[in-house]
Structure 1
């Protein structure tokens, strides 16, 4: 009301107001912009500090993580047959610590035990890269290459394992298997004699020596090696099978001796079948008779070629065939054989009870 009644006073007030506002800190644009910048800069620096703390915590946790602390647990899980738990732990450790060579080696051995041979090779190759001076790792990798019939690639790893550990019996045995596959039988034989000299109680070396001698036509010597293998491991079907093969083609044993060994083999298989299998999943009166063929020879092998010659005609009968291969690898003949079966189920890595 006062200013309304005194226009001159109001005019004088208005005249100086803009000047006073311009001089007020509140309207100091440069100062305001500078302070705002400092506020934003301070916020950014605090954020950076927080992120750095988080990163440092993560780095400290990573630095504190030691996969070696779990090595004993890995081995225990594997030895106790807890394969799923062992795989989960090994995969976790190798993901968190990709340079953990022992973890890769355990993972490879586990996959091989389970018949997952290709996965085993990948893991073992990684272990061999990380642990090039570890004889066990090189032996595992070389043996797996040999299992995949890559014997030329396997040989240098196995020889390196022996160079690192000259008394490594298993490496001599695996090198012998590699040389055998390369048809270098005399070299394989020398490796096996070395393995036996180091460990006379090693049945695998006696068995492989028998196989190498058999391939050279030295059947009587092969029989003696196989008998020694069976003396060390009496319940060994593979050794009995090869022994009977040698006896069948040899000329120095009479029929009574051959029959005795064949009966021993039959008794062994009977004992190994703990109980008769009765849970048959088929119709009581089937339209077609279902027959299962369990064999390691559904591939390039005399048995495989024989089967190929009869399976086509057998398919026109009242028989329905299901295959149960016990050998981990396939080839072109395997693919041709598959066409004659209604089912194909690998038994690799399974126990007799699991297969049943």
Structure 2
């Protein structure tokens, strides 16, 4: 088998999701031909898919050193850099791509996303509109329309953020027309109608989605959020898994754009309560996701474990190499099965997927040793005098009143603790209000 044939076979495996055998072939090719640019590029993309963005960047840069006029590799390098938080380097990579091919639609689309994250609204719209023109032409020429749907979806999100709700509806509808399976567009369309106050139309979006996919947990969850009917006590496991598996690769970068503060707030609360790091605590990162809390609290830990429902998020957390063990499990059941296992349980923005906090806080109480501490954040109900102790918001997350948080803590057996008001992130240019809780098991 020639190098070209082996590369083609590896690429077919790669595209089919068989990453381990594909990686073995790429590495075998590079063992024979260390400077084979396409093998370096594709192995870099594979390593990124497996959660090792640092190696991915090194490999793609090596490929570009050999073949610098490869626009696809520059665009992919930009994607990896962006998802790794190196925004300026990502911009440089996208611009390098466009130097070689000014009509590279994906690079315009990606630059639009960066401009949107910086609230550079006009620049974002210009970049998206250029990507839209190019993607439309490609679709009309018979190429797959996934990019066209993605650009419409991005424009829908931009219009929603700018309050141009009718335009958001239009672009979301176009995305769904081009690609009926566009999950993001269907969510945005429902949210746009909800924001317009057209609640019946919002509900119809989700009902139509469920008619197409009766078992779709995302449609089911957002229909409950939209109508207030059949609201679950917590988000279903399949909703959480599917939602977070879908954007694990870009999770850190997206939260960075939202000025995400919860991990730092939880870590600071731990240090305020427990003093300077001394590597003496057994800590559980409850709902660890990609592991954003891990590096912040590792120095406090004798042993640090994480638990999450999303396998893709856990794969990213593993790459941080700060956890002694990572566990795929539903949080409440995991805690309940491990009595008196930890000195500290901390949770940054995981309990916003629980409505009724009583059961999970009782499980956390049981999982802590005497004198153990619980730190967590949840979103705050905007008007505490207007309704129930918690609400399922249109974005799919729950928000809680201060009274509900306090009552659930006391009922679970914790010493009375007063949640402190915090801004957890920004969303659509607006601050997201929340509660930071530090509680102790007597």
Fold shared by both chains (TM-score > 0.5): yes
| Contact 1:158-1:171 at 8 Å conserved across structures | yes
Verify: 1:323 aligned to 2:287, yes or no: yes
**Over alpha carbons, which structure has the higher Rg?**
1
The 2-side partners of 1:333 and 1:269 are apart by 37
Aligned residue number for residue 121 of structure 1: 57
* CA deviations over 1:94-131 (Å, ceiling 9, x no partner): 23322111111111122233343333223222222222
- For residue 149 of structure 1, give the secondary structure of its aligned residue in structure 2: coil
Q: What is the Cα deviation at residue 250 of structure 1? A: 2.4
Q: Larger % of helix: which?
A: 1
- Under a length normalisation based on structure 1, what TM-score does the superposition of the two structures give? 0.60
- Under a length normalisation based on structure 2, what TM-score does the superposition of the two structures give? 0.50
- Relative to structure 1, the CA distance from residue 152 to residue 302 in structure 2 (aligned partners, 3 Å threshold; closer, same or farther) is closer
Verify: 1:227 aligned to 2:173, yes or no: yes
Q: Which has the higher contact order (CA 8 A, sep 6+)?
A: 2
Q: What is the Cα deviation at residue 322 of structure 1? A: 5.5
- For residue 287 of structure 2, give the secondary structure of its aligned residue in structure 1: strand
The 2-side partners of 1:141 and 1:151 are apart by 11
Identify which of 181, 199, 212 aligns with 1:255. Answer: 199
Verify: 1:240 aligned to 2:186, yes or no: yes
Q: What is the Cα deviation at residue 196 of structure 1? A: 1.4
- For residue 270 of structure 1, give the secondary structure of its aligned residue in structure 2: coil
* CA deviations over 1:292-334 (Å, ceiling 9, x no partner): 665467967699859x89xx9xxxxxxx995373xx5x53599
Verify: 1:144 aligned to 2:87, yes or no: no
Verify: 1:347 aligned to 2:308, yes or no: no
| Contact 2:210-2:216 at 8 Å conserved across structures | no
The 1-side partners of 2:168 and 2:261 are apart by 25
Q: What is the Cα deviation at residue 335 of structure 1? A: 5.3
5+ residue gaps, structure 2, are 137-144, 218-233, 270-283, 315-327, 330-442
| Contact 1:74-1:106 at 8 Å conserved across structures | no
| Contact 1:179-1:185 at 8 Å conserved across structures | yes
- Relative to structure 1, the CA distance from residue 267 to residue 323 in structure 2 (aligned partners, 3 Å threshold; closer, same or farther) is farther
| Contact 1:169-1:198 at 8 Å conserved across structures | yes
Aligned residue number for residue 437 of structure 2: none
Verify: 1:207 aligned to 2:153, yes or no: yes
- For residue 247 of structure 1, give the secondary structure of its aligned residue in structure 2: helix
Q: Following superposition of structure 1 onto structure 2, how do residues 12-27 of structure 1 map, counting pairs within 5 Å? A: none
The 2-side partners of 1:120 and 1:196 are apart by 29
Q: What is the Cα deviation at residue 69 of structure 1? A: 5.1
- The number of equivalent residue pairs is 257
The 2-side partners of 1:93 and 1:270 are apart by 45
- Relative to structure 1, the CA distance from residue 199 to residue 218 in structure 2 (aligned partners, 3 Å threshold; closer, same or farther) is same
Aligned residue number for residue 208 of structure 2: 264
- Relative to structure 1, the CA distance from residue 333 to residue 73 in structure 2 (aligned partners, 3 Å threshold; closer, same or farther) is closer
RMSD: 3.9
The 2-side partners of 1:335 and 1:250 are apart by 40
| Contact 1:128-1:141 at 8 Å conserved across structures | no
The 2-side partners of 1:130 and 1:239 are apart by 39
Q: What is the Cα deviation at residue 349 of structure 1? A: 7.7
The 1-side partners of 2:120 and 2:295 are apart by 27
5+ residue gaps, structure 1, are 1-64, 274-288, 313-319
Q: Following superposition of structure 1 onto structure 2, how do residues 1-356 of structure 1 map, counting pairs within 5 Å? A: 67-68=3-4, 70-200=6-136, 201=145, 202-251=148-197, 254-267=198-211, 270-272=214-216, 294=241, 295=244, 305=262, 323=287, 325=289, 328=290, 330-332=291-293, 343-345=306-308, 346-348=310-312
